[in-house]
Amino acid sequence: MRKILILVVVFTALLTTAIFASPGDSTDPIVVLSYLEQRLNNLVNSYKLDTIDSSIDSLQAKIDDLEDSVASGGNNSPSSNEFAIVEIKAGQKIICESGTELILRQGTAFVIGSDLGGISDVTKGSDIKDGKPIIANHFMLVPRSDGRGVTTADSALFMVRGAHEVK
């Protein structure tokens, strides 16, 4: 009988603890909906903040790159509004991206074309094919980014606006 009484007292003590535990407390053995909602909201908010922070960092890096490009003159960037003076020596080339504008100011230069054509001579209204000479002071426009550009056998001076690379 004494064993049964001890078991009843222990069992009653355990039930009393479970019954009088405050909801959501660490001693509460049952998970309540408000606790789950709070945990989920915290997780969602932390995920959103992490995603937003990484997006902001990525955008800031792009802004810094653009600012550096503008500060350095930005002559070979597609967003530059000014013509860059580009001098090429014998055997060098200017390889241009689509929309790059060229004006030969001094020297003799020849077109580097592609299978799809050459460079547009906007002044004359014609297409200058691969290997043909460029006329000085004519406004040239590169129609595609497929390796088109200009080269010289001695030296040449160009005004260039748009994305280009001297090789």
Range from 11-20, 94-103, 133-142, 157-166 carrying the lowest mean pLDDT? 11-20
Which DSSP symbol is given to 165? E
Q: Give the ranges where the chain is alpha helix by DSSP (H).
A: 2-20, 33-71
SS3 167: coil
Residue the block writes with tokens 């460079």 = 119
C-beta separation of 123 from 67 below 8 A: no
> What is the three-class DSSP state of 75?
coil
Q: What pTM did the predictor assign? A: 0.54
Question: In the β-sheet with 126-128, what is the strand arrangement from edge to edge?
Answer: 84-89, 155-161, 101-107, 139-141, 119-121, 126-128
- pLDDT per residue as tens digits for the range 49-104: 667 777 788 888 888 888 776 665 555 544 558 899 999 999 999 999 999 999 99
CA angle 165, 166, 167 (to 5 degrees): 110
> Higher pLDDT residue, 28 or 96?
96
Tokens of 102: 């060229």
* Count of all residues that appear for the chain in the document: 167
Q: Which residues face 33 on adjacent strands?
A: none
Confidence of residue 26 (pLDDT cuts 50, 70, 90): low
CB 93 within 8 A of CB 130: no
